[in-house]
Structure 1
Amino acid sequence: MGGQPDLGRADLLTMLAELTAKPAAEVSDRVGSMELAWLVHLVEQRYDRRLDLTDDELAGIRTVDDALAVFRASLTTSADG
């Protein structure tokens, strides 16, 4: 797989569904600070890796797709390094 994590949009929606106690299909695409903290925690647990994210990266995460792009980049970098 070349270090590319198998993290997908559906995974993040499922994680958010756990937090909100809603079905994944009803989870909002918007990510607030509490949702972001939750996602970072679960992704770190799932991959047994710390996501070394900058303040700028965190501030740029406003949607599930933003989070997915940042998490994938961080996981790929830490896997290669």
Structure 2
Amino acid sequence: MNTLINLAPIILMFVIFYFLLIRPQQKRQKQVKQMQSDLKKGDSVVTIGGFHGTVHTIDEAIVVIEGGDGTKLTYDRSAIREVKNS
């Protein structure tokens, strides 16, 4: 019984750590995965490198993004950070 009382603060700390750090991160990763799987031609996107463009062609793992000046660059699907709504 004494051991349980001594371990209670450590257990509580792990529970708080899980709900404040681990769970939100897992939720964010799930949202990013969903966004990357929902990509379609014509979506306006931003890559993790900061390149802004429009999805020109999309494959299972590869995305070709067209920039404003007509430049086409090939990226992995996982390199897409966000889809812009405008």
Normalising by structure 2, report the TM-score.
0.23
Instruction: Identify the structure with the greater helix proportion.
Output: 1
Instruction: Identify the structure with the greater strand proportion.
Output: 2
Larger gyration radius, structure 1 or structure 2:
2
Normalising by structure 1, report the TM-score.
0.24
